[in-house]
Structure 1
Amino acid sequence: MTDTIKRPTRTTATGAWADGDRTPLNGNERFKQEDDALNVRRRIIDVYAKEGFAAIPGDDLRGRMRWMGLYTQRKEGIDGGQTATLAPEELDAEYFMMRVRSDGGILSTEQLRTIGQISTDFARDTADISDRQNIQMHWIRIEDVPTIWERLEAVGLHTLEACGDAPRVLLGSPVAGIDAEEIVDGTPAIEEIRRRFIGSPEFSNLPRKFKTAISGSPKLDVVHEINDVSFVGVVHPDLGPGFDVWVGGGLSTNPIFARRLGAFVTLEQVPDVWAGVIGIFRDYGYRRLRNRARLKFLMADLGPVRFREILETEYLGHALPDGPEPVLPEGVRRDHVGVHAQRDGKVWVGAAPIAGRVSGTVLRGVADLAERHGSHRVRLTPHQKLLVLDIDPADADAVAAALLAYDLDARPSEFRRNVLACTGIEYCKLALTETKERARTVVVQLERRRPDFDVPLGIHVNGCPNACARTQVGDIGLKGMVHRTDDGDLEEVFQVHLGGGLGATPSVARKTRALKVAADDLPDYIERVTGHYLEQRATGESFAAWAHRAEEDDLR
């Protein structure tokens, strides 16, 4: 779509507040307008935790409580064939997923231990590292939520706006402030946005969720291409280090990469520019249809030229200078896995769990391990990985070995290193298929079958079309589905997407015609398709590049 200087003429009501009509056009807009979702916190503490699950009305249970980091959990025993047919109350278990907010993936060992203890005390020892740099727990009872919040807040953590139509956790470089190659440390901007705006009624009612990324790493390590707004480190030839601004990225059923505004922003300006971008989304965003309410659709209509004009004239009150575009060399790893030198002479040790699956026991063990080696800082990454910072180089091998005992591998295979998986049918009410254990099975099988495979290969396992594990930008993206076999049995299958990627050459994966693989056949399929790649690749050719040129038969 070409850029335009005139705002598109509306042929139907979009629900955008900037159009002058705040009439709620769907149920979500109604409950948000009736009562600010931030107010549900007091009802949870004073009423629901005392009276129990049955006392929670639907608009709070499946609506406003998301702003407190709480989603109702999927009832056990409901297969994927019923996901789209049962009423919400039939899918609800009387337990919650709780998402703990950790902006920038920043955690102290005390905070990590606290989350781990909460997991073992209240969440059946469950814990997953998400690709949004936070930790999710399951089996949370409403009666326990106030106590959990007290424990979190005692160490400076909370769950506020970890979900909901609000500014979600802010992604940041997990090696901010310690990487010797860093252009600029974005942590002060993350902290200032969190201080000024998270939990503020100013931005607690957005058309949909709003995802942010801020990183001064030259490795572009926060998947800036698929966030609503990203600030990416660059060096201006006259103004020095700062950020390039990208707006309007997102995946789900309509993958769209973010667009550059072409504007240069200093570290000090980031919070105000962030507020301007989210303000445009709040006021101009489409509220009529939920499936069109993300910022990416507004950006697609306005284009970056008009969007920047609105930002500068209506929200900032001044123009921003033009700036350079970030450059990422081919072949750069973005996940920080392994042992790497810090600028202070220490090292960090980055380790990979399989698809982010850990436990409260593991988190407490990692906290103890880090402290035994003099570290009090850990980081979570946008790739479901965990880093232990501030390790003496002489201790790096010992730390890596100890992490491996917790199934956290600092020298992982390519399969283990690059696999992502969403929550899946185990807990998620939207899912059609199982994901976490499926990812583990695939990784373990491929490590045995192809032990010498040494090419980066991202396998992204999603339980539904919503792409929480980034289906369309994995080398092999697997979208969960179900169908009936000839015998009438329900079978989990995965639609295959091939050749997606971010970084130097971002691309949306190729959806191969009518290619679906039964869940149990995934190891065989991936072994086969990677074999075709190894046989046919040109020198230095990536799997993604090969997948886009390969014949259909070689992708099956």
Structure 2
Amino acid sequence: MPPTSASTGAAASRRPRRGEGQWALGYREPLNKNEENKKNDDGLNVRRRIIDIYAKAGFDSIDPADLRGRLRWYGLYTQRAPGIDGGKTAVLEPEELDDRYFMLRVRIDGGQLSVAQLRAVAEISTAYGRDTADITDRQNVQLHWVRIEDVPAIWEKLEAVGLSTTEACGDTPRVILGCPLAGIADDEVIDATPEIQRVHDDHIGSPLFSNLPRKFKTSIAGCSVHCTNHEINDVAFVGVTGPDGAPGYDLFVGGGLSTNPMFAQRLGTFVRPDQLSEVWAGVCSVFRDYGYRRLRHRARIKFLVKDWGAAKFREVLEKDYLGYALPDGPAPELDPGTRRDHVGVHRQRDGRNYVGFAPRVGRVSGTKLARIADLAEAHGSDRVRTTADQKLVVLDVADDRVDSLVDALEAEDLQVRPSTFRRQTMACTGIEYCKLAIVETKARGISLIDELERRLPDFPEPITVNINGCPNSCARIQVADIGLKGQLVTDRGTGEQVEGFQVHLGGGMGLNAGFGRKVRGLKTTAAELPDYVERVLRRFLEQKADGEAFAQWAARAAEADLA
């Protein structure tokens, strides 16, 4: 519910010296072009124009405010025109970077797919997306080369199996992360599937939340290893056992990475499952009404939470939006491990098995997705899951079918027993398709895996390597053991500007949460990347103490040993 007049008056007494465009403080006039576009027309309204006008008249008929704004409310971004190098990313105008094709995100809340749904996504990829598909670290499937003329047919096919692209992008509540093992894991605190579904049904596509200051990322999970990374979501509900012994959720708000990384702050509340949808709406409403709309780079909820603090945020949420106080509750038990991806063969609580496997940096294809659907079905499963680490999991496999499924997946280069490098290397979309990127990422990640497997075939430690094409950290570089931020660097041999990376070392989440160490001047060219990673990993093995993790070593190592 909106703030009362009394609460709005009280809030006005806390008015910042410079207006940040906060609606609840009376700043309703748009302060930038994005806010003006949203005021002029709700992004949700663009669906009708796509169907009635743009799909019929073609790319040139698209209003520029829709093309570079409202189309995102349905998961559509123009992809990068081919042949534009990274040095021009921040120089050219948007229309010069735009291709006439789109990147399309299919929303997969909780990472939950039936075989029919996976097969529909695969068929869309092959029919309309040149057989492209990436599993993202937000549990979506991302397609490329989509024409505006084909979008209505794509929607029809998705919606026939219960999927959509609604609010997959834009200043909206994006896909809800959930544990892929929800409802089957022996050690989960709570099965969050009903809560994910309720939030989706109650609020996604609602005009109440279709004009937020920026994107709004949610995770809801009862996973014991915290695979949805609650620490870096805008709002996160984390499974805990409540004061009365019943399971529920602890609430975190204000996490996010990009150029100003911040971990979410714990509000200290216990949320019952039946309250979760209402509490989610309350948090989202606080962001909508008090979020900073003046400057785009400060418009995420993390800046509001940082300025207010957890106590004030909780007070405003409870008094002005919920109308009741939430009880205090316990903090979640954190796992010290670094593997949250559910790869391998493991027992389900019902005696069957799940089989998690690793594509290379999330890159698959429509053809491969169709093959996965066929294999799952042939082995008695109707449930496939995506993970927040660009992996896939097949559920409900009987003991006598596990070996056959593992062999069939690995024959498709989908490793169930991957090396640490295959298992824990991620990459964002990169310059191949993304207009924000400066360097190539996917092919480079794939080749880096191959090189490290060749050079360090028996490497024993769980090392995460995250590769990002720009500073925005879609691939979570600040919380990786080795985080690589794409930028142009100077080649020492030729003196020319070439693709390369700034290096972050020793980031992580869980008990040892922290952002990676940046050593002044520590960069590598893309060509030298395998040499650099091999060198630093060998030094780690030589110098580490018994039981010492890479992040601990990186924090204490001499700068010369990290170069």
* Fold equivalence (TM over 0.5): yes
TM norm structure 2: 0.97
Residue pairs, 1:78-227, within 5 angstroms: 78-227=84-233
Equivalent residues of 1:132, 1:169 under 8 A apart? yes
Identical amino acids, percent of aligned pairs: 61
Give the number of aligned pairs: 552
Match of 1:375 in 2: 381
Q: Note if 1:459 corresponds to 2:465.
A: yes
Counterpart selection for 1:29 from 32, 35, 43: 35
Q: List structure 1 runs of 4+ shifted beyond 3 angstroms.
A: 5-9, 483-490
| 1:541 partner amino acid | E
Deviation of the 1:539 alpha carbon? 0.6
TM-score norm. by structure 1 comes to: 0.98
Per mean C-alpha deviation after superposition, the further-off stretch among 215-224 and 73-82 is 215-224
Q: Does 1:67 align with 2:112?
A: no
Equivalent residue, structure 1, for 2:264 = 258
Using the alignment, how far apart are the partners of 2:468 and 2:425 within structure 1? 11
Q: Secondary structure in 1 aligned to 2:510?
A: coil
Correspondence 1:438 to 2:457? no
Distance 1:513 1:21 in 2: 41
- Alpha carbons 1:8, 1:301 under 8 Å: kept: no
Which of 447, 450, 454 is residue 453 of structure 2 equivalent to?
Answer: 447
Deviations 1:207-258 (CA, angstroms, capped at 9, x unpaired): 0000000001111111000000000011123242110000000000000000
Q: Counterpart in 2 of 1:409?
A: 415
Given candidates 498, 504, 511, the residue that maps to 2:511 is 504
The residue that corresponds to 1:284 in the other structure is 290
Shift of 1:397: 1.9
Partner Cα separation in structure 1 for residue 339 and residue 232 of structure 2: 18
Counterparts of 1:321-470 in structure 2, within 5 Å, are 321-331=327-337, 333-470=339-476
Range that drifts further, 390-399 or 87-96: 390-399
Q: CA deviation at 1:490?
A: 3.8
The 2-side partners of 1:159 and 1:48 are apart by 17
SS at match of 1:133: coil
Report Cα offsets for 1:87-115 as digits up to 9, x if no partner.
Answer: 00000000000000000000001100110
**Partner residue of 1:537?**
544
The residue type equivalent to 1:527 in the other structure is E
Alignment correspondent of 1:473: 479
Gaps of 5+ in 1: none
Counterpart in the other structure of 1:528: 535
Distance 1:8 1:416, change over 3 A: farther
Alignment of 1:304-319 (within 5 A): 304-319=310-325
Q: Distance in 1 between matches of 2:548 and 2:298?
A: 37
For residues 431-461 of structure 1, give each alpha carbon's deviation from its aligned partner in whole angstroms, at most 9, with x where no partner exists: 0000000001110000011011011100000
CA contact (8 A) 1:207 1:287 kept: yes
Unmatched runs of 5 consecutive residues or more in structure 2? 1-9
Aligned equivalent of 1:267, options 253, 262, 273: 273
- In 2, distance between residues paired with 1:325 and 1:8? 30
Q: How far is 1:332 from its partner?
A: 6.2
Deviation at 1:487, TM superposition (A): 4.8
State the Cα deviation string for residues 338-373 of structure 1 (Å, max 9, x = none).
001111111000001111000000000000000001
CA distance in 2, matches of 1:332, 1:34: 45
Map of 2:6 onto structure 1: none
Conserved in 2, the CA contact under 8 Å of 1:8 and 1:302?
no
In structure 2, C-alpha distance between the alignment counterparts of 1:65 and 1:416, rounded to whole Å: 34
CA distance in 2, matches of 1:530, 1:260: 34
**Conserved? CA contact 2:15–2:25, under 8 Å:** no
User: In structure 1, what is the Cα distance between the partners aligned to 2:495 and 2:70?
Assistant: 39
Matched-pair contact (CA < 8 Å) for 1:499–1:547: yes
Q: Is the 8 A contact 2:489 2:523 kept in 1?
A: no
1:489, CA displacement in angstroms? 4.2
Match of 2:522 among 515, 531, 552: 515
Separation in 2 of the partners of 1:488 and 1:83?
21
Instruction: Give the C-alpha shift of residue 517 in structure 1.
Output: 0.2
Question: Matched residues in 2 for 1:405 and 1:146: separation?
Answer: 36
CA contact (8 A) 1:352 1:416 kept: yes
Distance 1:148 1:9 in 2: 46
User: d(CA) in 2 for partners of 1:36 and 1:217?
Assistant: 36
Q: Name the SS for the 2:369 alignment partner.
A: helix
1:20 and 2:55 are equivalent in the alignment: no
Using the TM superposition, give the Cα deviation of residue 504 of structure 1 relative to its aligned residue in structure 2, in angstroms.
Answer: 1.7
Distance in 1 separating the partners of 2:305 and 2:323: 20
Q: Does 1:245 align with 2:257?
A: no
* 2:302 corresponds to which of 278, 296, 300: 296
* Structure 1 residue 484 displacement after superposition: 5.2
